[in-house]
Amino acid sequence: MVMNKKFSKITVVLFALAVILPVMCSCSFSAKRQVGRTAGRFATKVCNPTPDVLDYTDGLSRDYKNSFKDLFNDDNYTYEQELFISAMIDSLEYEFVSRPTTVNKDKAECTINFFVADLEKLKQRDYQEIQELTSAVDNCDRKTITIDVELEKINKEWYVTNFDDPKFRELYSFFYDMPVIGRGTLIQTAEKLAKAIIEDDSDTVVYLIGPNITTEQSSCIASFFDRDGNPSDEEKAFRDAVLGTMTYKIDEANLSIDGVSGYITIEISMADYETLAGKTFQSIQEITDAVNACGTKSYSYKCNFIRHTFDWDLLNVDSDEFAAIMNYKRFSISLEEPDVTYNSTTDETAEFVNYVSKEFGVKMLKPKAFRG
């Protein structure tokens, strides 16, 4: 009888397990399927980003939501940035990692690989214009960013709760970190400007300002280069001597590009001619020799540019730094005045009296006051 009771209990337990286990497995499978479906929709939205991706998330701060929405404000971007961002979005893809999705009551986690054009590799190249950059995006290797996506069941629906994970920020870094365009061209433009300065080539400076040159800029160039001046021989010799001592250096470490705006510093070195202030010289050659004997002084010029497609146009030719470089054109230099005092070796008064007496037959007495 006791055996029958034990057997009956075991039978009941086994029967219960036979009924409950399939139900439990079915519930677990159903939960994983729901999590997988939500995660898939979320990942699709991540790869086609709009503010709507926030509809699949929960637990984010208001500031984070606002900053994410601000990524899609067209007013924040130039035309070139919009083209780049669009190309990067087209490079986004995802896949679920083979490891199983884990579900623990109302919390779950699944691992997703996201793929995006490798921004760091793109930044290692130089681009002359935006089409060159977008083509590079299309052909660039993809970077893999693996993210453990965390979900939570809230009111019978699953939501992603870690969309503020730093890896998502890394995935979307292209929104605010576009590779620069025109770095090499900017350096080349600075080289042309520096050469124009040390070669006294005002026409090239006008060209580098571009077609939108203003009347004020034209006046500055005419003044700095003394285009309408009429220098004396000694001034010409001085200026040529100073030009002969000029060298330049492009400071690539002091270069910055922000969209279509950029700057770079050039350094012009020349004879420290100001040490000759107040001195006079007896010959042209003496002026040249004095300039060549001077020490060296350097001037820094931070050149501001704006880019129009390919070309960088100079903006600040009217700056004090540029004026300081060109001040040698205004430096006063002069030759020593010759001594024109005439010291006679003969008594010219006596000769004059003798001449008049002989020529006109008139006797003249030499005044004592004029003797000698």
- Packed helices 130-139 and 79-90: angle between N→C axes, nearest 10 degrees: 10
Q: Is residue 193 within 8 Å of 266, Cβ to Cβ?
A: yes
DSSP state of 128: S
Residue 14 lies inside a defined structural domain of this protein: no
Whether residues 100 and 226 share a domain: the answer is no
Q: Is residue 13 part of a domain?
A: no
pLDDT at 4: 52
Residue 340 domain-assigned (yes or no)? no
The alpha carbon of residue 260 and the mean position of all alpha carbons in its chain are separated, in whole angstroms, by: 8
Distance between CA atoms of residues 288 and 249, nearest Å: 24
Q: Are residues 257 and 210 in the same domain?
A: yes
State whether 308 and 188 are in the same domain.
yes
Q: Among 175, 194, 221, which residue terminates a domain?
A: 175
**In terms of Cα–Cα distance, which of 303, 302, 235 is closest to 273?**
235
Decide if 48 is inside a domain. Answer: yes
Please name the residues in contact with 212: beta carbons below 8 A apart, sequence gap of 6 or more. 313
Give the pLDDT of the chain (372 residues) as one tens digit per residue.
Answer: 444 544 454 444 444 444 444 444 444 557 788 888 999 999 999 999 999 999 999 999 999 999 999 999 999 999 999 999 999 999 999 999 876 678 888 999 999 999 999 999 999 999 999 999 999 999 999 999 999 999 999 998 999 999 999 999 999 999 999 999 999 999 999 999 999 999 999 999 999 999 999 999 999 999 999 988 889 999 999 999 999 999 999 999 999 999 899 999 999 999 999 999 999 999 999 999 999 999 999 999 999 999 998 899 999 999 999 999 999 999 998 887 655 555 555 566 677 667 767 766 666 665 655 444
* pLDDT value of residue 104: 86
Rounded (5°) CA angle 122-125-129: 90
Same domain, 161 and 62: yes
Instruction: Tell me how far apart the alpha carbons of residues 296 and 329 are, in angstroms, rounded to a whole number.
Output: 17
Statement to judge: residues 139 and 110 lie in one domain: yes
One domain, residues 249 and 302:
yes
**Whether 100 and 195 share a structural domain:** no
Q: Which of 210, 231, 232 is nearest to 221 (CA)?
A: 210
Q: Residue 270 maps to which CATH number?
A: 3.10.450.100
Residue among 248, 228, 225, 241 at smallest CA distance from 281: 241
Check which CATH number belongs to the domain holding 65 and give it. 3.10.450.50
Identify whether 296 is part of a domain. Answer: yes
Residue 289 is given by DSSP the state H
Q: Are residues 167 and 187 in the same domain?
A: no
Q: What is the crossing angle of helices 233-245 and 284-292, to 10°?
A: 20
Whether 45 and 139 map to the same domain: the answer is yes
The reply to whether 280 falls in a domain is yes
How far is C-alpha 367 from the chain's CA centre? 87
Same domain, yes or no: 311 and 366: no
- Contacts of 372 by beta carbon, 8 Å cutoff, 6+ apart: 347, 349
Give the chain's domain count: 3
Strand partners for 158: 153
Q: Is residue 4 part of a domain?
A: no
Residues spanned by the domain of 352 = 345-372
DSSP strands (E only) in the chain = 93-96, 102-104, 107-117, 142-154, 157-160, 247-258, 261-271, 296-308, 311-314
Domain-located, residue 165: yes
84 and 166 belong to one structural domain: yes
320 in the same domain as 289? yes
Dihedrals phi, psi of 115, to nearest 5 degrees = -120, 135
pLDDT for the residue numbered 102: 83
Amino acid, res. 47: C
